[in-house]
Amino acid sequence: MKNLVAYVLASGALLSGAVWAADAPSPQDIANGREKAMKQLGGDVKAAFNPATSQTDAKAKLADAIKIAESIPSLFPKGTGIGDPGMTDTRALPDIWKKPAEFKAAADALVAALKSADAAGNAE
């Protein structure tokens, strides 16, 4: 009976792994998703600093931009750069993967700048 339970559990794990692998995004899907996120980030920042945007909407847009900025390093996994298998279109610079510490530092600086802008807006 123990062997049967172990077999059923192992089979379930293998099947769920196969399903997960079939649903895993391709490198190009990942690159397309990050391009969409970066465009959203730019639009949110532009709206947040547009004088025509209400203070409430600007604060919400800035909060959305901060969430995206915090996720930037995870949007650029290895295997999603120019010349990688499965990649047909990306504008991501190769230095992202060649100099990951510098890339993360730049992403962290963006987050800090957005949070600073948010804090300044709260002080008004």
Structure tokens at 110: 């963006």
From the CB of residue 58, how many other CB atoms can be counted at a distance below 10 Å? 20
Query: What is the per-residue pLDDT across 47-96, written as a single tens digit (0 to 9) for each?
Result: 999 999 999 999 999 999 999 999 999 999 999 999 999 999 999 999 99
φ, ψ dihedrals at 86, nearest 5°:
90, -5
What confidence score (pLDDT) does residue 101 get? 97
| H/E run at residue 31 | helix 27-48
pTM for this one?
0.78
What confidence score (pLDDT) does residue 19 get? 47
